[in-house]
Amino acid sequence: MSDVPPPAPRGGITVLPAGPDAVLLEVAGLGQVLALAALVRAAVEGGEAPWEAVTDVVPAARTVLLATREGTDLTALAAAARALAPALAPTLAPALDTKARSHPDSVRLEGGSGVVDSPRTAGKSHEVGVGSGLHEVGSGTGGHEVEIGVRYDGADLDEVARHTGLTPAEVVLAHTGMPWRVAFGGFVPGFGYLIGGDPRLHVPRRGSPRASVPAGSVALAGEFTGVYPRASPGGWQLIGTTDAVLWDPDRVPPALLTPGSTVRFVDVAATLEPGTLP
Amino acid sequence: MTPALEVLATGPLVLIEDEGRPGHAAVGVGPSGAADRSAYRLGARLVGHGDGRAALEVLLGGLSVRAHGRVTVALTGAPSPATVDGRPVGHASLVEVADGSVLTLGMPSAGVRTYLTVRGGIAVDPVLGSRSTDTLSGVGPAPVRAGDVLALGDPGATFPEVDHVAHPSHRPVGADPHSPTVLEVLPGPRAAWVGGWGGGLGGLLTSVWQVAGQSDRIGLRLSGSRVERARAWRDAELPSEGLVRGAVQLPPGGEPVLFLADHPVTGGYPVVAVLTASAVDRAAQLRPGDPVRVIPAP
């Protein structure tokens, strides 16, 4: 085994082992992850071998995990995954490359045995050059569109304005002015890492995380925006709040934001006529 | 009368678990399910009902239930000394409990999780297609408490075929209690970060480990040594990526974490190996302080 890290795959798919019932597909960056995840989901929904054995498709910053039923022939699945590479190539654009880095200070939950990522840490993880171009990647891949009404009353709105050089009103216009896309989920049920919005909104996470961020908080970190589905610790910059229900186990699907879907934020205050506020 | 179990007392933790809920990891919900899947499945086979019905996962004994109606049960996993109305009953055996009789589980002599499988299954409402409690995401039924009355399902048209099986303990009866439990692994996606298979996975395969105190259904931490990264990867950082049950993850301190049923769906540290399915089941029965060796799967 080489002692030197191999270069990141370019236009190809590296299939990595992930135990008896999974393979991990690695690509060059987040743009390719979105495209690959869309191809894989379509194949799984198609229901043909070997894709019918896939139970979970988990996109992340540079990888897509395929988890399967027990006893699945992973060799056949790896071959089928590699065969998707040509379909992936057209989406490879320099603007979509990721120089993704890790989350070295990931938080520990539940007595410390689980080391997981959270918005406390993920915000500084990726530098993805995604502007409006990202919106086109994966378009027509079945993701739905979601509109989320927001009261832009977040505790960090002024701080975000200082970081970006915008006024608070301009931050709101930037956040609502361009559609976002759900890149991947994680952290807690219903949380989505949204990318592809206005690049002027890239801000660092807070210097010290809050012990509890209220449910429905709309926040920024790195090139991501996200909505906290429930009260949880968090280090993202809070710009607003929403009444949207991000997670409802009795709903189908339970998550409002699923990977691949498009999200438009709407300023609730701007839609009210003057004088209607209490 | 619908058959049911009335819960009189619980020990540290009693959860309802089944095969779990795959299919929701992309939105942050892991598969969960019984931590020791083979023990759970053995219970389902003993009582003769189909796959996927929910059982009780009893941590370190202490459960006491009264039967409403005559029920058929089996105890598998960690061997708890169990009684029905004070009379001892066998492990990994079919046990009939008469209407009004009380089944009580003591502290297991080895292992930590005993499965109480009741013919028909625990009939709570499923969430996202499963009756499992996921302690990480909070999805699924609440932990079982004294006073609960757990309705049982219709057992269907299949029936028990055996009365007793030799119970496949993770630690055979009579084994030296100080000999390490052996866990088999396959290479993980980031095995190269610790020098790969040939390099003994940076010491993972050559050390004797102890199970650390902070261990639960999410995972358990091994202590007593350190896994060293290969030189070229010493300062490498990993963007978060999908995790599987059984993943052996290496945080910066070098003490590996073995992820169990309620693992997070993604993680930001390298996964250098993955336990085989049966090794995950054995890992789920380990106690803090237990010695562990990790070897390559044959």
Which of A102-116, B124-138, B206-220 shows the lowest mean pLDDT across its residues?
Answer: A102-116
Q: A102 with A125: CB under 8 angstroms?
A: yes
Chain B nearest-CA distance from A270, in A, is: 31
B274–chain A Cβ distance below 8 A for any pair: yes
> Which residue in A has a C-alpha nearest to residue B26's C-alpha?
A58
Residues of chain A in contact with residue B230, where contact means CB-CB under 8 angstroms, are: 3
pLDDT tens digits, residue range A229-238? 999 888 899 9
Give pLDDT, residue B168.
Answer: 63
Chain B nearest-CA distance from A253, in A, is: 9
A·B CB contacts under 8 A:
210
Determine the Cα angle at A126 with ends A122 and A128, to 5°.
140
Residues of chain B with pLDDT > 90: what percent?
80
> Which residue in B has a C-alpha nearest to residue A109's C-alpha?
B136
Residues of chain A with pLDDT > 90: what percent?
57
Q: Could you tell me the pLDDT band of residue A270, with boundaries at 50, 70 and 90?
A: confident
Q: What average pLDDT does chain A have?
A: 79
Q: For residue B97, how many C-alpha atoms fall within 13 Å in the half-sphere facing its CB?
A: 35
- Distance separating alpha carbons of residues B188 and A248, to the nearest angstrom: 34
Interval A190-200 mean pLDDT:
93
Cα first-last separation, chain B: 51
pLDDT tens digits, residue range B39-58? 999 999 999 987 799 999 99
Among candidates A19, A55, A103 on the partner chain, residue whose Cβ is nearest the Cβ of B268:
A103
Give pLDDT, residue A6.
Answer: 52
Chain A nearest-CA distance from B197, in A, is: 9
| Residue with token string 């910059």 | A237
Q: Does pLDDT of A58 surpass 50? A: yes
Residues of chain B with pLDDT > 70: what percent?
96
Interface test with B, best of A13, A56, A99 (most B CBs within 10 A): A56
Q: Is A243 exposed, middle or buried (0-12, 13-18, 19+ CB in 10 A)?
A: exposed
- Distance separating alpha carbons of residues B21 and A178, to the nearest angstrom: 35
Q: Does A18 sit within 8 Å of B26, measured CB to CB?
A: no
Q: Could you tell me the pLDDT band of residue A61, with boundaries at 50, 70 and 90?
A: confident
Chain A nearest-CA distance from B178, in A, is: 24
Among candidates A2, A24, A190 on the partner chain, residue whose Cβ is nearest the Cβ of B189:
A24
Q: A218 with A150: CB under 8 angstroms?
A: yes
Give pLDDT, residue A112.
Answer: 29
> Which residue in A has a C-alpha nearest to residue B185's C-alpha?
A19
E strands, chain B, in order: 4-9, 13-17, 55-59, 64-68, 71-77, 82-84, 87-89, 94-97, 102-105, 113-118, 149-151, 181-187, 208-215, 219-223, 241-242, 247-249, 257-259, 266-267, 271-275, 291-296
Radius of gyration of chain B (CA): 20
Among candidates A57, A117, A249 on the partner chain, residue whose Cβ is nearest the Cβ of B266:
A117
Which of A78-82, A136-140, A249-253, B125-129 shows the lowest mean pLDDT across its residues?
Answer: A136-140
Interface test with A, best of B32, B222, B266 (most A CBs within 10 A): B266
Q: Does A117 sit within 8 Å of B268, measured CB to CB?
A: yes
- Distance separating alpha carbons of residues B280 and B38, to the nearest angstrom: 10
- Distance separating alpha carbons of residues B141 and B99, to the nearest angstrom: 26
Q: Does B26 sit within 8 Å of A59, measured CB to CB?
A: yes
Q: Does pLDDT of B89 surpass 60? A: yes
Number of H helices, E strands in chain A: 6, 15
- Distance separating alpha carbons of residues B166 and B79, to the nearest angstrom: 12
**ipTM (interface pTM):** 0.94
B31–chain A Cβ distance below 8 A for any pair: yes
Number of H helices, E strands in chain B: 2, 20
Give pLDDT, residue B41.
Answer: 95
Among candidates B128, B236, B243 on the partner chain, residue whose Cβ is nearest the Cβ of A254:
B128
> Which residue in B has a C-alpha nearest to residue A246's C-alpha?
B27
3-state secondary structure of B128: coil
Chain A nearest-CA distance from B175, in A, is: 28
Q: Does A56 sit within 8 Å of B24, measured CB to CB?
A: yes
Q: Could you tell me the pLDDT band of residue A90, with boundaries at 50, 70 and 90?
A: low
Give the single-character DSSP code of A247. Answer: B
Q: B281 with B261: CB under 8 angstroms?
A: no
